[in-house]
Amino acid sequence: MSGTPPVLEARGLCKNFPGVRALADVSLELHAGRLLALLGENGAGKSTLMSILAGVTRADVGDVLVAGQSVHFSSTREAREHGVVAIFQELSLAGNLTVAENIFLGREPRTRWGAIDYTAMNANAQVLLERLGVGIPARTVVSALRVSQQQIVEIARALSTEARVLIMDEPTSALAQREIDSLLRLIGELKRAGVAIVYITHKFEELAGIADDVVIMRDGAVVATRPFAELTHAEIVRLMVGREMLPFAVQTNRATGDEALRVEGVSLPHPSRVGDYIVNNVSLQVARGEVVGLFGLVGAGRTELLETIFGVHRKSARGQVWVAGKRIEGHTASAISAGLALAPEDRKHDGLVLGLGARENAGLASTRAWSRCGFLSPREEERRLGPLFEQLRLKVRSPDPAVLNLSGGNQQKVVLAKWLATEPEVLLLDEPTRGIDVMARNEIYALIHMLAGRGLGILLASSELPEVLAVCHRVIVMCEGCCTGEFARGDATAELLMQAALPRTLARQA
């Protein structure tokens, strides 16, 4: 690496959580104006490393040096004072405040009298936002923004602190392509301005053109530190998983079963804008053994469609849903007993109870069914969940670790185990591989096909083109609440899907 002293250096960091060794002797160096891509499977320790550098948690052993000085951050604020800023996947914005108020929270410009100088604050915020190439008005209340826009506000806030070290955890996971492009452009600018960047991602294609160095982690340890130019894609993947890996091979189309799911005329009105629909008159079918993709950009209404099918919005929604020929009426519980299951997009908050254990979570949807005379039966639980955990290759160390302490990939497996335990007919999967690494991703794809092979119907909502193209027998495209296209496996191409997914006005420009 370059001869200049590092801006930030980590030496021999170790961290243990109950039942989990999160970091083992991790060292790395960050240099001004260079971007370090931090890669690794979920659970490899990237997030833990990031939290230590950003002052969220402390290492059990080891040192962090900023500009050669040993530091011990006990809060993100302290890290920020040393110029180290992190942008987490979970956004940390106050929804009730405006964009400008969020950006300058705790550092508001003051007038002579000590009051907040709103004129200056809004103007400064607007300048920052324009630098990011987005047209978000600085006075907008954050809760009115889409998730992708909120992410940009978060980035703007990090930039406003004149950070010397910027750590980004999958910053593009909720962004549309246009927004990704402007973010990558901005990263280039930041590098030229001398900012050292740590970039955590699972999308390798983003790294070309921005990455200088690569650190690859596995099982809490660093397995490779190399210049990006020296590594090929295949090598990176091999280092991440510790062995050569075949790309996921899709099985042939054998979706000829009976109807598993039929949705007719489902609509969900917008909660506040009268006459506007989040889901607009959607009809679709999924056969037994079929994997149907539901592709769309952020805000297309995929999540809301799945939730509506699942009975979450039964008070406001319209339309009919049949599962295996049975009409579903009423709420979520009746949808579940009819054989529906939903693995939600936000698995940490909607899919899991973080304080409970892996087994307790996995049993949550079905405990009542296997309890004996109204009591829990640990033996019966083991009999039902044990094989499922094995099937999912869900490795847990202590008897029942809190899911809080599990990696994202393992958390998703717990969600899947929970639903498989109910023996469903139809699985609704909402971004099932978001934030999940290549290895666990392929495991989940294989699992999806195994389940389809057993006769389940699967509706998979995703905003990732390669995913829907690789995994699905058929793809339905949504845009602004409507179905705008349907493609059989052979006919679906990235271009066609994207064209259908873009709003009409945009599509014409493209």
Q: Pick from 461, 413, 403, 404: which is nearest to 441 by CA?
A: 413
Helix (H, G, I), strand (E, B) or coil at 213: strand
Stretch of 109-117, 192-200, 356-364, 436-444 contacting another protein, by CB under 8 A:
356-364
User: Out of 349, 393, 395, 397, which residue is the one contacting another protein (CB under 8 A)?
Assistant: 349
23 binds another protein (CB under 8 A): no
- Give the containing element (helix H, strand E) for 445: helix 438-453
The nearest distance, CB 87 to another protein, in angstroms, is: 14
Query: Closest approach of Cβ 344 to another protein, in Å?
Result: 6
Distances (CA, A) of 443 to 240, 247, 409, 457: 15, 11, 10, 18
The answer to whether 363 contacts another protein (rule: CB under 8 A) is yes
Distance in Å, CB of 242 to another protein, minimum:
24
Check residue 47 for interaction with another protein (CB under 8 A).
yes
CA–CA separation, 128 and 324 (whole Å):
53
Cβ proximity of 155 and 181 under 8 Å: no
User: Closer CB to another protein, residue 197 or residue 362?
Assistant: 362
Interface pick for another protein out of 124, 140, 253, 371 (rule CB under 8 A): 371
Distances (CA, A) of 380 to 211, 364, 383: 51, 14, 5
Query: First vs last Cα of the chain: how many Å apart?
Result: 41
Contact pick of 1, 250, 324, 354 for another protein (by CB under 8 A):
354
Judged by CB under 8 A, the stretch of 118-126, 175-183, 293-301, 351-359 that binds another protein is 351-359
Contact between 125 and another protein by CB under 8 A: the answer reads no
DSSP 288-345: TT-EEEEE--TTSSHHHHHHHHTTTTTTT-EEEEEETTEEE-SSHHHHHHTTEEEE-S
Is residue 430 a contact residue for another protein (CB under 8 A)? no
Single residue of 289, 351, 432, 457 touching another protein by CB under 8 A: 351
Strands of the 8-17 sheet, one edge to the other: 20-30, 8-17, 61-66, 69-71
Find the binder of another protein among 249, 353, 450, 494 (CB under 8 A): 353
Kind plus residue range of the DSSP H or E element containing 500: helix 494-501
Amino acid sitting at position 272: S
Is the Cβ of residue 39 or residue 138 nearer to another protein in the bound state? 39
Which residues 304-323 are close enough to bind another protein by CB under 8 A?
310, 312
Residue 320 to residue 120: CA distance in whole angstroms: 53
Q: Alpha-carbon dihedral of residues 179, 184, 186, 190, nearest 10 degrees?
A: 150
Is 24 a residue that touches another protein (CB under 8 A)? no
Binding mask 61-100 for another protein (x = CB under 8 A): ----------------------------------------
> Does the footprint of another protein cover residue 350 (CB under 8 A)?
yes
Our CB check for another protein shows the closer of 89 and 442 to be: 89
Answer yes or no whether residue 374 interacts with another protein by CB under 8 A: yes
Q: How far apart are CA 154 and CA 164, in angstroms?
A: 16
User: Applying CB under 8 A, which of residues 5, 18, 188, 453 lies at the interface with another protein?
Assistant: 18
- The reply on whether position 17 binds another protein by CB under 8 A is yes
CB of 422 to another protein, least distance (A): 8
Separation CA 169–CA 47 (nearest Å):
8
CB atoms within 10 A of CB 456: 25
From candidates 95, 355, 466, 503, binder to another protein by CB under 8 A: 355
| Number of chain positions touching another protein (CB under 8 A) | 42
Least Å from the CB of residue 417 to another protein: 12
Tell me if 393 sits within 8 A of 444, measured CB to CB: no
The contact set with another protein (CB under 8 A) reads 17-18, 22, 47-48, 50-51, 56-57, 310, 312, 332-333, 335-337, 342, 344, 349-357, 360, 363-365, 367-368, 371, 374-376, 400, 402, 404-405, 418
